[in-house]
Structures are given as C-alpha cells and as structure tokens.
Amino acid sequence: MRQKTSERMAALARPVTNLASGWYVALPSAELRRKPRQATLFGNAYVAWRGDDGRAHVQSAVCPHAGAALYGGKVVGGTLECPFHRWRFDDSGACVSVPGRRPPARAAVTPLPTRECSGYVWVWYGSGPPRYEPPDLPDLQARRFPSTRSFRLADPTRATTRRILENTYDPDHLVALHGLTVAGEARITIPTTRETPNGTAADTGPEERCDATLTWPSYRGPLGAVSNVFGLNADEFTLRLRGWASCQEIEYFADGRRLYRMVLAVTPIGEHHSVQHISAAVDADGAGIVGWLRALVHRAEVQVAARQDLPVFDTLLPGDRHGIYVPGDEAVRRFRRFYQQWVELAQRG
C-alpha cells in the first residue's frame, strides 16, 4: 500500500521550489540490489543502480537516444544498459557502447553526486558540487544494534522538507499533539553561531548545522502510570538535536540516560510530495524482561508519534509559510532562517 502511494505521488511530482541545498535520501540501501530502481527526486525521474563493485549511482532516467526509461534496463559489465536499443552508460553518465557503431559524442545522462552511508543512498541537491560530505549519521539498522530494538519507517507525506524537519524544533507540539507528559514548558538551548575571526558568515556561507537542545521538567514517560513500573519517570527529559538542512540526528534522554535515538531524513519527490524516513534504535538498558519491555514502550512511542504527525502534515497549507510566532517557536524560527540560507544557495545558478 505504501509503495503504491509513493508511486502515485511520483507520477504527480512537480519540481520543488523551496528546497535547501543538501544531502537527500534517494532510497534505503537495502532496497537497491542488482536491479536498477526508479527514483523520482526533486520532480525529476532518476535511475538508481549498483555497479559491479557494489557502488551506488543515481542518474537521470531518460535515455538520450529515444527517451526510454533506463530503470527498465539492466546492469551489464559495470554499465547501465537501456532496454530499448541497448546503449550503455557508465557511472559518469557517458554513453560508452552502442551496438554496431561508435557512441555519439554528446550521448550522456546526468549523474547526481551520490554517496552511500548510514543505511541510505544519498544524493546532493544544489547548484555546483557538494559543499560538504554526507553527515556522519549512525547506521541504526546495523548489526551492532540488536534488530528487535531498531526499526525503520518510510512514510509518504504532502509536507515539504522544511515542514518535516522543523517539526523536531517544535517543543509545544510534542506536548499538544504527541501527549508528552511533562510538568512545564521546554527550555530551548541553541548553540551560539560559529566564530568567524577573518570575516562574516556571508564570506564563508551558511553554517553546516543548526543544533538545538530542548529540556522539559518532570517527565512521566509515554504511558504515564504504566511507565512508572518500568522506571521511566525522570526529573528531566531532554531532546538533543544535530540538524542539517536536509536531515537530523535526534537523541532523547531521561535524567541524562539515553532512551532512544533517531535519524530523520527526507526524499523530496516533488513539490509537496515527500517521503519521511526514520531510522531508530532504542537503548534498552536494564536486564532481561524489564529492558526488553522498556524497548517496546519506546519503540511504540516513536511509531505512534510518526503516525500522529503525518495526518497533520498532510493538512498544512501549501508553501513554506510563516505564521504567528510564540516563545515556544524560537527554535523553529531559528531553523527556518537557517534552512532558507541553504535554499538561497541551491537557487544560485
């Protein structure tokens, strides 16, 4: 069902208009095997494929010969072969083989800067080459994190990338929408901007990250009294966020003890068509059954929270609009300013 929805959305994709320059998820690594895959990104059709050496590539999907979709082809000798007349393209996008004749000089497809790490295949969006390498995010599905305690979600939504990412900077919705049981308002801590001894930010470009820490008093766990039994109550609940313009690492702590962590990333299919990717791992410390039950409680918390966000995301007004700000929106406001700096970079020709 989810796949069908994504495909339907892909067919409707319009080019994105307010997208930050950055690294975006083309698809989870586990979904790219031997066969080339279709990937609709930024409103355009791409093909993702692996060379014989296992490296992932993402290139425009339209064959320059007669326009066949290259994701219908196959990988042959480390090249991608079009299904229609068997022209072959290498990982740089150049046409390197045409049956019976020399490849036309200008025959090529456009490759996107592609990297594979943290369990995902990432592509760079923006004018010019990548301004930084993909963030050093943990691969939370890797074997060192026991599988019963880690999981991955991929949900289509009509929300824009900015809307998806700014949600984490919004402490009030955690209480109002997700029912976080705390005794007061969040304290928002935002690190000071970097030192620029030899110039201003205008000289060096925007900062790479927009981090924030949100701290609430007296956390009572996701399930109130039930959480008591598992010792989840705490005097302090903390959300620690390392945020880039296109993805995040989020950690949740109770009295300094980490409960779980998440990687949040986005596939911008097109204008108002995105996939929200969550990779999460629960730190179930505590022996035996109690630790296991704790892990289940927190896992349910993350999954339920995602299901609560998505229906609201889908009703948000089109466009990355601003609204009326209150003190609890301080971090959202900060992130929006940061995000728009990276949008400007993407739009510079």
Q: Which residues of the chain form contacts with ligand FES (CB under 6 A)?
A: 63, 65-66, 68, 82, 84-85, 87
Closest approach, Cβ 1 to ligand FES, in A, equals 32
CA distance 326 to 320: 18
Task: Write the single-letter amino acid at 304.
Answer: V
65 binds, among ligand FES, Fe ion, none (CB under 5 to 8 A by kind): ligand FES
Q: Which does 306 bind (CB under 5 to 8 A by kind): ligand FES, Fe ion, none?
A: none
Amino acid letter for position 83: P
Min dist CB 138 to ligand FES, Å, is 40
Q: Whole-number minimum distance, CB 65 to ligand FES, in Å?
A: 3
The number of angstroms, rounded, from the C-alpha of 125 to the middle of its chain's C-alpha atoms is 13
Nearer to ligand FES, 89 or 342 (CB): 89
CB-based closest residue to Fe ion: 309
236 contacts 255 by C-beta, under 8 angstroms: yes
- Residue 87: which of ligand FES, Fe ion, none does it interact with, CB under 5 to 8 A by kind? ligand FES
Choice between 91 and 309, CB closer to Fe ion? 309
- 63 binds, options ligand FES, Fe ion, none, Cβ within 5 to 8 A by partner type: ligand FES
- The residues of the shown chain that bind Fe ion, judged by CB under 5 A, are 167, 309
Task: Pick between residue 45 and residue 117 the one whose CB is nearest to ligand FES.
Answer: 45
Interaction partner, residue 309 (ligand FES, Fe ion, none; CB < 5-8 Å by kind)? Fe ion
What's the closest the beta carbon of residue 97 comes to ligand FES, in angstroms? 10
Residue whose C-alpha is closest to residue 159's, from 309, 289, 37: 309
66 makes contact, choosing from ligand FES, Fe ion, none, with CB < 5 to 8 Å by partner type, with: ligand FES
Cα angle 184, 187, 188; round to 5: 145
Q: How far is the CB of 52 from ligand FES (least distance, A)?
A: 21
- 167 touches, from Fe ion, ligand FES, none (C-beta below 5 to 8 Å by class): Fe ion
Q: How far is the CB of 82 from ligand FES (least distance, A)?
A: 3
Between 81 and 283, whose beta carbon lies closer to ligand FES?
Answer: 81
Q: Which is nearer to ligand FES, 45 or 68 (CB)?
A: 68
Which of ligand FES, Fe ion, none sits in contact with 249, Cβ below 5 to 8 A by type?
Answer: none
| Closer residue to ligand FES (CB): 76 or 304 | 76
Select 95 or 332, whichever has its Cβ closest to Fe ion.
Answer: 332
Which is nearer to ligand FES, 63 or 214 (by Cβ)? Answer: 63
List of E strands, the chain: 22-28, 37-41, 44-50, 56-60, 74-76, 79-81, 88-89, 95-97, 111-112, 114-117, 120-125, 150-157, 187-189, 212-219, 234-243, 247-254, 257-270, 273-282
Report the alpha-carbon distance of residue 116 to residue 330 in Å, rounded. Answer: 34
User: What sign does the CA torsion over 309, 310, 316, 319 have?
Assistant: positive
12 or 68, CB closer to ligand FES?
Answer: 68
Which residues contact residue 235 at a Cβ distance below 8 angstroms, ignoring those fewer than 6 apart?
A: 217, 218, 219, 255
| Min CB(85)–ligand FES separation in Å | 3
Q: List residues bridging with 187 in a β-sheet.
A: 215
C-alpha 173, offset from chain centre: 20
Q: Facing residues of 294 across strands?
A: none
Query: Min. distance of Cβ 22 from Fe ion in angstroms?
Result: 21
- Burial code (b: 16+ CB inside 10 Å, e: under 16) for 213-237 equals bbbbeebbbbbeeebeebebbbeeb
Minimum distance from residue 250 beta carbon to Fe ion (Å): 10
Name 258's bridge partners. 253
